[in-house]
Protein backbone atom coordinates (compact mmCIF):
# COMPACT_ATOMS: atom_id res chain seq x y z
CA UNK A 1 0.00 0.00 0.00
CA UNK A 2 1.90 3.06 -1.21
CA UNK A 3 -0.41 5.60 0.46
CA UNK A 4 -0.67 7.02 3.96
CA UNK A 5 -4.08 7.07 5.67
CA UNK A 6 -4.23 10.82 5.03
CA UNK A 7 -3.61 10.29 1.32
CA UNK A 8 -6.24 7.59 1.19
CA UNK A 9 -8.73 10.02 2.75
CA UNK A 10 -7.86 12.62 0.15
CA UNK A 11 -8.31 10.07 -2.62
CA UNK A 12 -11.69 9.02 -1.25
CA UNK A 13 -12.83 12.65 -1.18
CA UNK A 14 -11.58 13.17 -4.70
CA UNK A 15 -13.44 10.08 -5.91
CA UNK A 16 -16.64 11.17 -4.20
CA UNK A 17 -16.47 14.63 -5.73
CA UNK A 18 -15.80 13.13 -9.14
CA UNK A 19 -18.65 10.69 -8.76
CA UNK A 20 -21.07 13.51 -7.84
CA UNK A 21 -19.94 15.58 -10.83
CA UNK A 22 -20.28 12.70 -13.29
CA UNK A 23 -23.65 11.69 -11.83
CA UNK A 24 -24.96 15.24 -12.25
CA UNK A 25 -23.74 15.30 -15.83
CA UNK A 26 -25.34 11.95 -16.49
CA UNK A 27 -28.69 13.11 -15.12
CA UNK A 28 -28.70 16.16 -17.35
CA UNK A 29 -27.73 14.11 -20.41
CA UNK A 30 -30.18 11.29 -20.07
CA UNK A 31 -32.94 13.29 -18.40
CA UNK A 32 -33.60 10.19 -16.35
CA UNK A 33 -34.35 10.06 -12.63
CA UNK A 34 -31.11 8.58 -11.39
CA UNK A 35 -29.48 8.36 -14.73
CA UNK A 36 -28.09 4.93 -15.17
CA UNK A 37 -30.82 3.47 -17.33
CA UNK A 38 -32.75 6.67 -17.94
CA UNK A 39 -32.41 6.58 -21.69
CA UNK A 40 -34.17 9.17 -23.82
CA UNK A 41 -37.83 8.27 -23.91
CA UNK A 42 -38.99 10.32 -26.90
CA UNK A 43 -37.38 8.00 -29.43
CA UNK A 44 -39.51 7.50 -32.51
CA UNK A 45 -41.26 10.87 -32.43
CA UNK A 46 -40.87 12.72 -35.69
CA UNK A 47 -38.67 11.73 -38.56
CA UNK A 48 -35.77 14.20 -38.34
CA UNK A 49 -32.47 12.38 -38.59
CA UNK A 50 -30.61 15.11 -36.73
CA UNK A 51 -32.53 14.35 -33.56
CA UNK A 52 -31.51 10.77 -33.73
CA UNK A 53 -27.91 11.75 -34.21
CA UNK A 54 -28.06 14.02 -31.19
CA UNK A 55 -29.55 11.22 -29.16
CA UNK A 56 -26.85 8.81 -30.26
CA UNK A 57 -24.20 11.27 -29.10
CA UNK A 58 -26.00 11.83 -25.77
CA UNK A 59 -26.34 8.12 -25.35
CA UNK A 60 -22.70 7.38 -26.03
CA UNK A 61 -21.64 10.10 -23.59
CA UNK A 62 -24.15 8.80 -21.06
CA UNK A 63 -22.77 5.28 -21.34
CA UNK A 64 -19.23 6.57 -20.86
CA UNK A 65 -20.35 8.48 -17.77
CA UNK A 66 -22.18 5.43 -16.42
CA UNK A 67 -19.04 3.35 -16.94
CA UNK A 68 -16.96 5.98 -15.14
CA UNK A 69 -19.34 5.93 -12.18
CA UNK A 70 -18.97 2.16 -12.04
CA UNK A 71 -15.18 2.52 -12.01
CA UNK A 72 -15.36 5.16 -9.26
CA UNK A 73 -17.70 2.95 -7.20
CA UNK A 74 -15.33 0.02 -7.64
CA UNK A 75 -12.39 2.18 -6.51
CA UNK A 76 -14.35 3.40 -3.45
CA UNK A 77 -15.22 -0.18 -2.61
CA UNK A 78 -11.55 -1.15 -2.86
CA UNK A 79 -10.60 1.79 -0.63
CA UNK A 80 -12.96 0.38 1.99
CA UNK A 81 -11.87 -3.23 1.76
CA UNK A 82 -8.16 -2.49 1.46
CA UNK A 83 -7.55 -3.60 -2.11
CA UNK A 84 -7.07 -0.07 -3.41
CA UNK A 85 -4.00 0.54 -5.56
CA UNK A 86 -3.62 -3.06 -6.67
CA UNK A 87 -3.92 -3.90 -10.34
CA UNK A 88 -7.09 -5.85 -11.04
CA UNK A 89 -5.39 -7.94 -13.72
CA UNK A 90 -1.83 -8.70 -12.60
CA UNK A 91 -2.08 -7.97 -8.84
CA UNK A 92 0.94 -5.62 -8.83
CA UNK A 93 0.79 -2.23 -7.17
CA UNK A 94 -0.41 0.57 -9.43
CA UNK A 95 2.10 3.42 -9.35
CA UNK A 96 1.10 6.27 -7.00
CA UNK A 97 1.71 8.80 -9.80
CA UNK A 98 -0.84 6.99 -11.94
CA UNK A 99 -3.38 6.89 -9.12
CA UNK A 100 -2.95 10.57 -8.34
CA UNK A 101 -3.65 11.39 -11.98
CA UNK A 102 -6.50 8.88 -12.28
CA UNK A 103 -7.70 7.80 -8.83
CA UNK A 104 -10.32 5.43 -10.21
CA UNK A 105 -7.73 3.44 -12.18
CA UNK A 106 -8.25 -0.29 -11.62
CA UNK A 107 -5.22 -1.49 -13.56
CA UNK A 108 -1.54 -0.67 -13.82
CA UNK A 109 -0.49 1.19 -16.95
CA UNK A 110 0.65 -1.97 -18.77
CA UNK A 111 -2.57 -3.90 -18.10
CA UNK A 112 -4.72 -0.87 -18.93
CA UNK A 113 -2.98 -0.61 -22.29
CA UNK A 114 -3.55 -4.28 -22.94
CA UNK A 115 -7.19 -3.95 -21.85
CA UNK A 116 -7.81 -0.98 -24.14
CA UNK A 117 -6.27 -2.80 -27.08
CA UNK A 118 -8.59 -5.78 -26.55
CA UNK A 119 -11.66 -3.58 -25.77
CA UNK A 120 -11.50 -0.74 -28.28
CA UNK A 121 -14.91 0.59 -27.18
CA UNK A 122 -14.11 0.80 -23.47
Among 69, 87, 99, 106, binds Zn ion (CB under 5 A): 87
Per-position x/- string for 96-115, each x denoting binding to Zn ion as judged by CB under 5 A, each - no binding: ------------x--x----
Q: Which is nearer to Zn ion, 63 or 109 (CB)?
A: 109
Per-position x/- string for 35-74, each x denoting binding to Zn ion as judged by CB under 5 A, each - no binding: ----------------------------------------
Number of residues binding to Zn ion, judged by CB under 5 A: 5
Listed ranges 11-19, 21-29, 85-93, 96-104: which one lies at the site for Zn ion (CB under 5 A): 85-93
CB of residue 98 vs Zn ion: minimum separation in angstroms?
Answer: 11
Q: Can you give the three-state secondary structure of the chain, one letter per residue?
A: CCCCHHHHHHHHHHHHHHHHHHHHHHHHHHCCCCCCCCCCCCCCCCCCHHHHHHHHHHHHHHHHHHHHHHHHHHHHHHHHHCCCCECCCCCCECCHHHHHHCCCCCCCHHHHHHHHHHCCCC
Q: Could you tell me if 39 and 58 are in contact, meaning their C-beta atoms sit under 8 angstroms apart?
A: no
Q: What residues make contact with Zn ion under the rule CB under 5 A? A: 87, 89-90, 108, 111
Amino acid sequence: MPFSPQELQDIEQLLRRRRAAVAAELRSETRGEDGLLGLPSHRGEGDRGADFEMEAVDLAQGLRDAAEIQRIDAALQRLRDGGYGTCEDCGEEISPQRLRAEPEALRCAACQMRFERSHPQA
